[in-house]
Structure formats: C-alpha cells, structure tokens
Amino acid sequence: MSKTFLCDLCDLRSFFWLVLALVVALQTPASAHIGSPDVFVEGQAGAYRLFVTVRPPHAIPGVADVDILATSDDIRDVRIVPLPLTGPGAQFAPVADRAVRSAEDPRMFTGHLWLMSAGAWQVRVTVAGDRGDGTLSVPVPTLPQSTLAMSGGLKAALLVLMLLLGAGVIGIVSALYREAGLAAGAALDRPARIRGWIAGAAAAVIVCGVVFLGNTWWSAEASSYDKYIYKPLGATATVNGDSRLKLYLSDPGWIASRRLDDFVPDHDHLMHLFVVSPSLDRLWHLHPSEIATGAFEQRLPDMPQGQYELFADVVHATGVSETVVGQLNTASIAGTPLAGDDSAWNEQVVNNGKIVWVRDGKPLAPKTLTLFTFKVEDADGQPARDLELYMGMPGHAIFVRRDRKVFAHVHPSGSAPMAAMNIAMPSDPAHAHHDMAPGALPSMVTFPFGFPEPGDYRIFVQVKRAGRVITGVFDARVP
Ligand SMILES: [Cu+2]
C-alpha cells in the first residue's frame, strides 16, 4: 500500500475526531417538560438536618444529579446509593458512592447516580460526622419523560460521518484487492483494476446491508422505548344534577406495574384534588372518595359556571405518585357547603389575619433549591399562636405556573408525597407530625422547592388556624 494512502487515512482520522467533537457539542437536551420532576426533601439523617435535591434523568436508564445541603458544619462524609423503593431490591443496597464536597460551600455535597428502570426508586443518603451516623431516604419516581430528539445539525453531521465511513470502507477494501499484491514500484495493470472494482462493489453492497440492518434495529429499539415513556393517567370529569363530581381515571398503558386499584392514602386521603379557574383566581382543595376502581366522587360546593382545570394527586402502593390532569366544563353549581378537610379560596375571601412571604433577598431562579418561608400573622400583625396541623402537616403549598403546565404540591418536608416518604423511611419519627401537641406549632412554615422552569407562578399556601383553613396567595416571576 502506498505511503501517501496511509497518510490520507491519518488525515481522515483526525477529521473524524473533529466532526465527532462537533457532534457532541451540538447535542442539546430535549426541552419538552411537563410538571416538576425534581424532588426536594428536607429531613433528618441521624443528628443532621439535610436538604436533598434529586434531579431524575429525562431518559431511563439515565443519571440523576443529587445535591445534599447540610445545615451544620460537622459532616465528614456523605454517601449516596439508588435502590428500588419497594420489593427485595430495597433491602440490599449496593456499595454507595461518595458525594463530593463543594469547594465553594463546605456544607454542600453533590453526586451522580444511575437510575436503571422506570418506577419508584429511592436515593439513600448516609451521613457520617462528629455527631455519629445517620440515614435519610428520598423517594424518587423515575418517569421517562421523552426520547432525546436529534437536532437538525446533529442529523446532518451524523449523515456526513456515515457517508465518510461507508466510502472509507469501500475505498480501503477496493485498494486492498487492487494494490496489496503488487510488487514495490510495479505499475497497475488492468486485471488489478478490475479486481479493485469488483471488491469495491461487493463492499458497497455489504455497507448498504449493514446500514439497512442498523436502521431496522434502531427503529425497533426506539419504538419499544416509546412504550416505556411515561404516559400520565387520563381523567374524565362530569357533574350531575345533584352537584356530584365524578372523576373517572383511565390508563393509556404504561409499565405493567401501574394499576388503578392500588392507591394508598397520602396525608389522610386517597386523592387530593385541586380545582383552579384558568386565571387562577379561584382554588378548591378537595378530597374525593373512591367509589369503584379508578372512579372517584366528590360533592361540590357552590361554583360559578365556567371551565376549570383539575389536578388530582394520587400515590400508588408502589410509591409512585402521579398528578392526573383533567378539565371540567360546568354550568353554575348550587352545591353543598365544604366539609372535613376540603377548603376553598377566591379573591373575595377575607382571612382573619394574613400570611406573609418572608423573602431572603435572593432573586428567584429556576432549577434551584429555594426555601419558601411564610409567616402567619394575627389581624394586629402579631405571630399567630393558634396554628394547627392541616391533614397532619403544618402547611401545604401549591405552585402553579400561569399557563397551568407546571403544578406542584409541596409540604414543609418537601415535594415527595408523605405516603412515599413513609415507604422509604417507615419508622422515621421526623415525619410523625401527628404526635405534636396542639398549639405547639410555630407561626412560620417553610417549604423547600425549586421552580422547574422560568415563568409566572402563583403560590397558594394553606395553613389551619383554630379549626379554619386559611389560604395565602402569592405571585412569583421566575426570570
Ligand atoms: Cu398537602
């Protein structure tokens, strides 16, 4: 083989690397996003108070980012490990990875974990420090959001690469058959050229066959992954003459372990239904009861005629939590007064006292752990002393983006549902707010959360004072 041919190959190889580097640089993450998949939890690991943020990957298997923020300086070592939330896999943890301490903030630790399948996972955080060891488990539902879309630039670059590779293979095979048997310095003869052409043509057929088979394999993989992408439960809402709302859930088909008959109570109710008007100037927080598999019923209060958006939170026995979205178009309803834990808010409601958002001066930013602190005051501005637990929790916060494409229901313990937290840490006294003596609740409530995306949000904060639920409403612009 001639020396110049080999050098041509070397040049070709560096060109390949250059194009490959470009391809990697061009890859952009998919922007399709519904809801708020990141998990924020405040909890106790032994003697240490931690804020844990888990950002599950868009595609599964994929890598989750885990941030652990300690509230004290005496932590020496943080280890993290992913394991299924339930089943035998939850008992036997693999070897944990060490989370790396941040250079800027010694209280911050970060790590990355592979999550291998769709469903309910937990990230177990183990902390060692001056005050002994501690463990905190954070439930993480892994719902594959999308197939990463290929950008036009990436497609073009890969096509050029494929053509170059194919042409390279054909050229090499053809040159081998044409020139490999030649003595040094000998001229090419006609039989050698013909050999080269035939070998090149055969190589072209094989290259085309490989491309065809590769495409078939790729398409089969892509369509089987498509079935694996999270498909939310559907909901149909109807109201009949006696102001009874019926909500029928439907499963469009996703992983086999999702069922409609395995809901577990989450802070005392199988379903937390939030009904909002499109302009977010009305909110109802209701708790329908299950009347059949996948069917729920609720007596509605008085409601003006209109079109409403429904967000229904449910938790499966597997620990997977879902928010079911639906619409309700209704004539005006003369209903029954709210009862039990149900509550409502509109701009005309006059609260006794008020809820004040205590800002820490930091600007709001998307994808950032933020502590939302609210102070409950009496009518005369004094801290309220009559706060009670509302469904076992010091407070409930609902974050809704104005376009209603983002919805999150958060508690002082974070965005993971209490039912899933109880599966992850069955005997953790830190979750047992129920045992608190009445009257012992502080006038401040704090919710750890991070806006998933920029936009205009409305935050509804609900607390219970002396048997009455009061709602504070706040608008937030996230640049
Ligand atoms: Cu709640």
Per-residue model confidence as pLDDT tens digits over 105-162: 999 999 999 998 888 899 999 999 999 999 999 999 888 877 777 899 999 999 999 9
**Confidence at residue 34, expressed as pLDDT on a 0 to 100 scale:** 46
pLDDT value at position 309?
94
Instruction: Report how far ligand 1's centroid is from the alpha carbon of 58 (Å).
Output: 26
Mean pLDDT of the residues in the chain: 87
Q: How far is the CA of 97 from the centre of ligand 1 (A)?
A: 33
**Cα of 264 to ligand 1 centre, how many Å?**
15
Ligand 1 centre and the CA of 239: distance in Å?
Answer: 25
Centroid of ligand 1 to alpha carbon of 134 (angstroms)? 27
Matching residue, tokens 């943020």:
53
Q: How far is the CA of 47 from the centre of ligand 1 (A)?
A: 26
395 C-alpha to center of ligand 1: Å?
Answer: 7
Q: Please give the sequence-ordered ranges of beta strands (E in DSSP) within 27-103, or none if there are none.
A: 39-45, 48-55, 62-70, 75-84, 97-98, 100-101
Provide the pLDDT for residue 437. Answer: 52
Measured CA distances, 344 to 172, 279, 285, 287, 356 (Å): 75, 15, 6, 12, 19
**Residue 277, φ and ψ in degrees, nearest 5:** -80, 155
Q: Compute the distance from residue 296 Cα to the ligand 1 centre, in Å.
A: 18
Tokens of 43: 């909890």
Residue linked to tokens 């954070």? 138
Query: Ligand 1: distance of its center to the CA of 356 in Å?
Result: 19
pLDDT of residue 76: 93
Write b or e for each residue in 191-211: b if 16 or more Cβ atoms lie within 10 A of its Cβ, otherwise e: ebeebbeebbeebbeebeeee
Percent of the chain with pLDDT over 70: 89
* pLDDT, position 24: 35
Are 159 and 23 in contact by the 8 Å Cβ rule? The answer is no
Say what the pTM is.
0.80
**Distance in Å, CA 322 to ligand 1 centroid:** 14
Distance 479 CA to ligand 1 centre (A): 27
Weakly modelled stretches of the chain, pLDDT under 50: 1-13, 15-34, 430-436
